[in-house]
Amino acid sequence: MQMHVIDHPLIAHKLTALRDERTDSPTFRRLTEELVTLLAYEATREVRTAPVQVTTPVAVADGVKLASPKPLIVPILRAGLGMLEGMVRLLPTAEVGFLGMLRDEETLLASTYAERLPQDLSGRQCYVLDPMLATGGTLVDAIGFLVDRGADSITAICLLVAPEGCARLERDLAGLDIPVSVVTAAMDDKLNERGYIVPGLGDAGDRLYGVV
Ligand code: URA
């Protein structure tokens, strides 16, 4: 598993505004989208392309287009939905599948409550959207789900990562024979006793969509 913490002043600037408890939901949603588009630029560095030629007004030029099968974007509901627009802005031709996962606030264990994904993911590059890599339980389960269906490579985009979640991914995904990477804006200090990332930004789902 590879962890990429992206060091860029614009990312740091937007993340700081996102962390601020005074940032309201509409602004939080907009900043999340902008941040994801910047992270997606790095996350898609290995996206597969096929050679093509185009005719310019002057001559024929060699170029590339995204290869088939198309990349698959998988937002983890609920909070991952807030990252989708920012991702499809960069990859408008990608397909989108959905995975609904819920974290039990007592046990901190994740369970799957909804799924809309192709049965066969052979040869697919998958981009998982999950804003907070906290304990790592949700992401480990989501990656397992995609691997079981034959995913070829998996890149998770997370706004924030906790060291505990990173260690869990390293441990639980050690035997995997497909490439897995995580692209994030920051590695924070730790988890608190309630499983929240510190200093973090609070509950990403609540800040995007309110406490429901
Ligand atoms: N999920 C969140 O939304 N925030 C955290 O800090 C941890 C998990």
Architecture of domain 2-53+60-209: 3-Layer(aba) Sandwich (3.40)
* HSE (side-chain half, CA atoms, 13 Å) at 48: 15
**Residue 78, pLDDT above cutoff 80:** yes
> What's the whole-number mean pLDDT along residues 42-56?
97
Burial letters 74-98, b for 16+ CB under 10 A, else e: bbbbbbbbbbbbbbbebbeebebbb
* HSE (side-chain half, CA atoms, 13 Å) at 209: 10
**Residue 101, pLDDT above cutoff 90:** no
- Best residue among 77, 164, 166, 201 to mutate for probing ligand 1's pocket (most ligand atoms within 8 Å of CB) is 201
Under the banding of pLDDT at 50, 70 and 90, the label for residue 107 is confident
> What's the whole-number mean pLDDT along residues 68-72?
95
Which residue, judged by its Cα, is nearest atom 5 of ligand 1? 196
**Residue 110, pLDDT above cutoff 90:** no
CA 204 from chain center: how many Å?
13
**Residue 48, pLDDT above cutoff 80:** yes
- Determine the pLDDT at residue 143: 96
Residues making up the chain, counted from first to last: 212
- Determine the pLDDT at residue 104: 80
Burial letters 110-126, b for 16+ CB under 10 A, else e: beeeeeebeeebeebbb
Residue 139 Cα to ligand 1 middle (Å) = 13
Under the banding of pLDDT at 50, 70 and 90, the label for residue 111 is confident
**Residue 103, pLDDT above cutoff 80:** no
Active site residues per annotation = 103, 107, 203, 206
> What's the whole-number mean pLDDT along residues 7-34?
98
Under the banding of pLDDT at 50, 70 and 90, the label for residue 132 is very high
Under the banding of pLDDT at 50, 70 and 90, the label for residue 1 is very high
Which residue, judged by its Cα, is nearest atom 4 of ligand 1? 203
- Determine the pLDDT at residue 105: 75
Q: Where are the domains of the chain?
A: 2-53+60-209
- Determine the pLDDT at residue 204: 97
> What's the whole-number mean pLDDT along residues 187-205?
97
Mean pLDDT in the chain?
A: 96
Which residue, judged by its Cα, is nearest atom 7 of ligand 1? 196
**Residue 178, pLDDT above cutoff 80:** yes
- Best residue among 132, 164, 187 to mutate for probing ligand 1's pocket (most ligand atoms within 8 Å of CB) is 132
Digit-coded pLDDT (tens) for 139-151: 999 999 999 999 9
